[in-house]
Amino acid sequence: MFCILCNSEEKLYDGLCKSCYLKEFKLVELPEYTTFTVCSHCGATFKNNKWIQAGYYDDEIINDAIQKDITINDKLENVEMFTEITNNRGTVYECVLHVSGDILDTRIEKEYPIEVKVERGVCPDCSKFYSGYYEAVIQLRADDRKLEDTEISNADEFISSEIQRICKTNKLAYVTERIVLKEGVDYHIGSYNAAHKIAVNMQKQYGGLITESRKLVGHDKNKSRDLYRSWISVRLPSFHRDDFIEYKDKIIKIEKIGSHKFSGTNLDTGKTESLTWKEYENVNKVATMDDLRLTTITNITPTEIQVLDPDTYMTVDLQKTDNMNNLEIGQEINVIKIKNKTYIVI
């Protein structure tokens, strides 16, 4: 029998001599070009039915794009291959696929040119962002008063820096809308998890209370689950540092506002009182530093301090506490009148 290509007379494989057979042998079937999809907004790449945001590099993307569209000849054994990018014109990568393997007990290697084209798409996260999708609303409020301008601008800054931090790992960490209302500011946040984290951190920073409610807003047919939207209210306390509050017949001048507790000086005892936010509902703000009055000490005994009532100029005897040991007769001092009782404010 003769080889149909070179007429050589020897053992034939599919009508060809070994040399012609190896020359004609196709190690892989591959198309002229293949594609991969990149999100035109964020650069995420589509890989194995998933959008990958980071850590997926050009070489690997292009190699994967080629691998998904080629078929290796199943007669070939011990296959090895690698992709060489030979040129890049805009959205087209010209590549050469180097394939080697064993056939008829011979190691052969061949090169196959292939183009890889970039297709533009929109990943679901970006499509959510551009459609204004949001899972949660952070409602910034102040309890029993209007929010102050500085509180709003501080919260704006706080939320934006939190978003910048969280969005590195959570694509839905974005603010789609910021709405100023009479009662406060609403921030529409793409991701519930991000909104929840931010609200918790805001409470740690500014104190106050967080309450949360959610509403059914739809149904995701693909994942067959209900979709909820959450409203997370961050309620700043009615008082600030240096304000005076009433709590169970005690008058306390607030000195610290923390994430778990707030504390201050009990004006009756001069001692520090510390309350958890659970007690907040039992607290009333009763005065501010603007209510302080200046008066004069007229007498001091081991247990009492006598001052002039700033309104009536009558003398009033007040209980002396440990923090008043340095006071002297004739000295001017701040007092505050709350519910007809006068307190010395050190």
Contacts of 224 (CB under 8 A, 6+ apart): none
Taking 3-state DSSP, the helix, strand and coil percentages for the chain, each rounded to the nearest 5, stand at 20, 45, 35
Considering the complex, what minimum distance in angstroms separates the CB of residue 27 from Zn ion? 19
Query: Residue 201's CB: how many other CB atoms inside 10 A?
Result: 17
Which residues are registered as beta bridge partners of 228?
Answer: 216
Nearer to Zn ion, 20 or 62 (CB): 20
The Cβ of residue 223 has, within 10 Å, a number of other Cβ atoms equal to: 8
Greatest extent of the chain over all pairs of C-alpha atoms, in Å: 134
User: Min. distance of Cβ 16 from Zn ion in angstroms?
Assistant: 5
Q: Return residues touching Zn ion (CB under 5 A).
A: 3, 5-6, 8, 17, 20, 39, 41-42, 44, 123, 126
Among residues 43, 222, 33, 66, the alpha carbon closest in space to that of 121 is found at: 43
Q: Which residues pair with 335 in a beta bridge?
A: 293, 344
Closer to Zn ion by Cβ: residue 6 or 227: 6
The residue (of 44 and 283) whose beta carbon lies closer to Zn ion is: 44
Q: How far apart are CA 317 and CA 322, in angstroms?
A: 16
| Min CB(166)–Zn ion separation in Å | 16
Q: Can you read off the two tokens belonging to residue 313?
A: 């100029």
| Closest separation in Å from C-beta 20 to Zn ion | 3
Tell me the closest approach of the beta carbon of residue 216 to Zn ion, in angstroms: 27
Which CB atom, from 123 or from 344, has the smaller least distance to Zn ion?
Answer: 123
Min dist CB 54 to Zn ion, Å, is 12
- Residue closer to Zn ion (CB basis): 126 or 172: 126
d(CA 250, CA 268): 7
Residue closer to Zn ion by CB (options 41, 293) is 41
- Residue 302 gets which letter from DSSP? S
